């Protein structure tokens, strides 16, 4: 079955992963900007990273027939230095006309600090100014509930169209907060944290299958670039119809991502 991988950090993956994803039926990959495993020391480091996202990775994916798209931002982990964050924000508009850029992301919170929230709000303002969708990272487990509430309240105060925002890494205790507020929700399938396939399917059965997608968020750590394809097999084991599986792994992400005129498959 064809599927879309709506959140994968391919700069951290090998070319063999692209090959495996193509063979598994992946027809599009979307890569948000994220932390490189260490804090970058200069604005020019981010400029090179944005070139990698908008030039090199699309070319690497094209070798396997997969369109590659990207989101741009300074990630929450590096946003604590607000002055540096604003310097990086100032160069993002230079890349927004690239043909594979979808919007602003993955922005959000890491430790729920005042500076992180300030840079988050400035990212949101940038997205609104350029009429771009937004992809949001929610903190890890110990800070996830508080961070999700802070993010939702901030977006409401900014009068952002919730239908153009996806709040990612939801779990059982945050999915309802996101969906009830009208935002899209993303479930991240990790072997050791976030959602296992079984938990993700349970969330679908609890909260429904509207305005929700699955992703692997594969990166430098323990993660699986084939997580979405494997979860679709688990859904089949639970007697989900092919039509419903397709809705979650293909139709839903296509519907959200198609709000960007650059998304074409």
Entry pTM: 0.97
Min mean pLDDT across 9-13, 44-48, 191-195, 234-238 is at 191-195
* Residue 221 maps to a domain: yes
Q: What pLDDT shows up at residue 1?
A: 87
Q: What pLDDT shows up at residue 142?
A: 80
* Residue 265 maps to a domain: no
* Residue 262 maps to a domain: no
* Residue 244 maps to a domain: yes
The percent of residues above 70 in pLDDT, for the chain, comes to: 100
Which residues are paired to 90 by β-bridges? none
* Residue 80 maps to a domain: yes
Q: How many other CB atoms are there within 10 angstroms of residue 62's CB atom?
A: 12
Quote the number of domains for the chain: 1
pLDDT at residue 213 greater than cutoff 80 = yes
Q: Within the chain, how many helices (H) and strands (E) appear?
A: 11, 8
pLDDT per residue as tens digits for the range 78-98 = 999 999 999 999 999 999 999
Q: What pLDDT shows up at residue 106?
A: 98
User: What's the whole-number mean pLDDT along residues 146-163?
Assistant: 97
- Can you give the CATH number for the domain in which 66 is found? 3.20.20.140
Output the CA–CA distances (angstroms, integers) from residue 134 to 161, 166, 227, in the order listed: 10, 6, 23
Domain hosting residue 154, numbered range: 3-257
pLDDT at residue 108 greater than cutoff 80 = yes
pLDDT per residue as tens digits for the range 198-211 = 999 999 999 999 99
* Residue 22 maps to a domain: yes
Output the CA–CA distances (angstroms, integers) from residue 37 to 34, 77, 112, 220, in the order listed: 9, 10, 19, 7
* Residue 175 maps to a domain: yes
Q: If pLDDT is split at 50, 70 and 90, which confidence band does 4 have? A: very high
Q: What is the distance between the alpha carbons of residues 197 and 208, in angstroms, rounded to a whole number?
A: 15
Q: If pLDDT is split at 50, 70 and 90, which confidence band does 255 have? A: very high
pLDDT per residue as tens digits for the range 169-197 = 999 999 999 999 999 999 999 987 789 99
First to last CA, the chain: 15
* Residue 264 maps to a domain: no
161, 184 contact by CB (below 8 A): no
């Amino acid at each position: 079955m064809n599927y879309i991988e709506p959140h994968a950090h391919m700069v951290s993956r090998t070319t063999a992963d692209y090959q495996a994803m193509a063979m598994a039926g992946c027809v599009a990959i979307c890569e948000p900007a994220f932390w490189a495993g260490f804090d970058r020391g200069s604005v020019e480091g981010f400029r090179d990273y944005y070139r990698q996202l908008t030039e090199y990775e699309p070319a690497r994916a094209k070798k396997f027939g997969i369109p590659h798209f990207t989101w741009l931002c300074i990630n929450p982990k590096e946003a604590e230095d607000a002055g540096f964050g604003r310097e990086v924000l100032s160069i993002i508009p230079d890349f927004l006309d690239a043909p594979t850029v979808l919007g602003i992301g993955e922005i959000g919170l890491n430790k729920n600090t005042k500076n992180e929230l300030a840079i988050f709000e400035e990212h949101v303002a940038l997205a609104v100014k350029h009429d771009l969708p937004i992809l949001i990272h929610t903190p890890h487990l110990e800070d996830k509930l508080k961070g999700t509430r802070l993010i939702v309240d901030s977006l409401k105060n900014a009068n952002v169209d919730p239908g153009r925002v996806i709040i990612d890494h939801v779990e059982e205790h945050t999915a309802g907060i996101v969906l009830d507020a009208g935002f899209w929700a993303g479930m991240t399938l990790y072997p050791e944290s976030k959602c296992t396939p079984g938990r993700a399917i349970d969330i679908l059965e609890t909260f429904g299958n509207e305005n929700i997608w699955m992703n692997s968020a594969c990166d430098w750590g323990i993660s699986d670039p084939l997580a979405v394809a494997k979860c679709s097999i688990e859904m089949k084991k639970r007697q989900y119809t092919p039509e419903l599986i397709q809705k979650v792994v293909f139709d839903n992400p296509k519907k959200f991502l198609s709000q960007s005129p650059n998304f074409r498959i």
